[in-house]
Every structure is written in structure tokens, then in C-alpha cells.
Amino acid sequence: MTEVDVRQKVLAANAAAANGLRARFLETGTLVVNLISSPGSGKTTLLEATARALRERLRLGGLDGDIATDRDAERLRQAGIPARQILTGGACHLDARQVESALAEEGERLSGLDVLFIENVGNLICPTSYDLGEDFKVALLSVTEGDDKPFKYPAIFARAAVTLVTKADLLPHVDFDLAAVTDQVAALNPGGRLLVVSARTGEGMDAWFGLISAERSRKRNARFAACVV
């Protein structure tokens, strides 16, 4: 028997594809945001509101991962931005190669964007492990899901640069301890940001739009810096 040290990342092939995407997004100055949450927490609704608020100022686009139907991409197109559905046919997450081929097939329509939103398959667990070449992950937690979720699904809340507590307009109707969630997220992810929003009433949404605009400017400046170097 022969025994050898390998020491290779299991997801090395995904990481290589993600790094390729990241280099491309840096070249075009495209900010890429990977949205992860359980089904029904409001990813598409958030993006619809974001599209309507920012589409005049920024070139936005969306990739929507789902097991079935192209409903989400259609909703984003109705909100006035180009969007492409990625059907995983049962897989519980998007991987970098799927993003690569979806972008290749869309060609011009999704290239050179200011901001690309990747709406992952609704799942708080599996998508966390797959780098898609994004600048940062955003975790959504709707108030109807319960205030114990960050500690129950620590991987995503530890890795998401931004946590959005969504459906804040329902706070008066549910037992959701916002302070407890803030504490849990702070413990898992001391550098992370937490915003409380309602896409329905607009509460807190300006802070979200401001964050996207600021990160987009930062990405564009990084692109100029990369060109100078």
C-alpha cells in the first residue's frame, strides 16, 4: 500500500472557476453580491425593490438560482433589469461553473454591469460553501423565521458581510427578539453589518441602497487601482 499527502481543497475546482470570475468582475468593475437565505425570506422581493430604486443610476443585473421555474428571473425582468435563471434541477446551491456558463450564454446582456446580484437557491446551508467570485455574501433572515437562526445556521451568518433582517413591517405581529439576533450575528461575525429592512414599506431600504452604491464605487476605484498597478 502507498500512502501520500495530498492536502488539496475539496472545492479546488470551484475555487479556480470563482477566481476566474473574480478577475473578470474586477476588470469590468462589477460589484457582485451573493444573496443567501431560506426559501421565502424575501430575496426576490428585495431585488425587485432594489432594481426599481437604482436602475436609473446603475446598470444592474441578476442571476437567479432555483431548482425549478424561471419565475424569479421573470420577476426581476418585470422590475426592469436583465436577469437569467439558472435551473439546478435539484442541486441545493449554485457553483461557480454554473455562473460562468450562464454569463457566457447571456453574453452582452449581463456583461459590464455595475452590480450583479446572484440570488442563490433558497437554503441556509449548502450555498455557504461555494465561492461564486462575489465581493461579499448577504444573508437574509425574515422576522417570521424566528430569532434563533444565526446560532442554528452559524456558517452563513459568520461569513456574510451583511445580514438583512427582512419583513420588518411584521415585527409588531411576531415574537422576534431583534436584540438577540443582533447579539448572535455580532458574536459570529464581529466585523459584519446588520440592517433591518422592509421591502414592502421601504423601512431601512435607503441604508441598503446606500451600501450597494458605496460598495459599487469602491469596486470601481479598486479597478482603477488595479489598472495603475
Partner 1 sequence: MHELGLALEIHRIARQAADERDGGPLEFVTVAVGDLAAVEPQLLEFAWRAVVDGTPDAGADLKVEWRPARQVCASCGEVSERAPGSWMRLCPRCEEPLAVTGGDDLDVLRVAFAGPAAAAGGAFR
- For binding to partner 1 (CB under 8 A), which residues are involved? 1-13, 91-93, 95, 125-126, 128-129, 151, 154-156, 158-159, 183-184, 186-190
Cell of 188: 459570529
Among positive and negative, which fits the CA dihedral 186, 192, 195, 199? negative
CB of 83 to partner 1, least distance (A): 24
The nearer residue to partner 1, 2 or 229, going by C-beta atoms, is 2
Q: How far is the CB of 212 from partner 1 (least distance, A)?
A: 26
Nearer to partner 1, 129 or 144 (CB): 129
What residues contact residue 189 under an 8 Å CB cut-off, 6+ apart?
157, 158, 159, 160, 163
* Pick 13 or 174: Cβ nearer partner 1: 13
**Distance of closest approach, residue 149 Cβ to partner 1, in angstroms:** 12
Q: Which is nearer to partner 1, 8 or 228 (CB)?
A: 8
Separation between Cα atoms, residue 27 and residue 17, nearest integer Å: 16
Residue 129: partners with Cβ closer than 8 Å, 6 or more residues away: 11, 93, 155
Closer Cβ to partner 1, 48 or 147, answer by number:
147
Contact 59, 108 (CB under 8 A): no
Say which residues have a Cβ less than 8 Å from residue 162's Cβ, sequence separation at least 6: 136, 137, 138, 139, 192, 193, 194, 195, 211
Comparison of 10 and 228: residue with beta carbon closer to partner 1:
10
**Contacts for 227 with CB less than 8 Å, ≥ 6 apart:** none
Amino acid at 112: G
Give the nearest distance from C-beta 19 to partner 1 in angstroms: 17
Q: How far apart are CA 172 and CA 9, in angstroms?
A: 46
Q: Minimum CB separation from partner 1 for residue 63, in Å? A: 18
